Amino acid sequence: MNERRTVWKVFPVWDFEKEEQWLNEMALEGWALVAVGFCRYTFERCRPGQYIIRVEMHGADDGYIRFMEQTGAVYIGRMIQWIYFRRSAELGPFDIFSDVDSKITHLQRIGWSLSMIGFANLLIGCVNTFSVSRAGILNLLCATLLMYALGRIHGKKESLQRERLLHD
């Protein structure tokens, strides 16, 4: 039986690149990602550097997963809207985003989700703060954190847009 290891780790939504980098470092050390959960990553022993891991925010779409599998990628799992793939490094480079525009589109998708969840928390927090319940403060704190995350994602998007202008 293969040796398994579970690691509990938290990555803020605006640091999804750091999460992906960490997962690839684990693969370089000989730990292949085999399952994901809430802040939980399960790995199995593999040859060091055997796999490349990619993370993307993408809605539930079986057609997209089948498309990715046709490229040699293996669907590992989903955590809310985030999907995880791995592919053998022997197949060559593995990039989900082939150009600046696809990276910008991905950041817009993340930003839209953060905006909707943040707005919902703000609305619920305001309603609950002015009612009998004092739980609204938690929603307001959550909305604040989500708006901070949105700002970080927006900054990354603006940086990519400037990069695109330099190359046009």
DSSP 69-90: HHTT-EEEEEETTEEEEEEEGG
Whether residues 78 and 113 share a domain: the answer is no
Same domain assignment for residues 63 and 123 = no
- 37 and 77 in a single domain? The answer is yes
Its pTM stands at 0.85
Q: In this structure, are 49 and 112 located in the same domain? A: no
Q: What is the pLDDT of residues 93-108, one digit of tens each?
A: 999 998 899 999 999 9
Residue pair 57/82 in contact by the 8 Å Cβ criterion:
yes
Last residue of a domain, one of 31, 65, 91: 91
Which pLDDT score is estimated for 113?
A: 92
Tell whether the model's pLDDT for residue 1 goes beyond 70: no
- Domain region containing 144: 100-167
Same domain, 107 and 80: no
Separation CA 166–CA 137 (nearest Å): 44
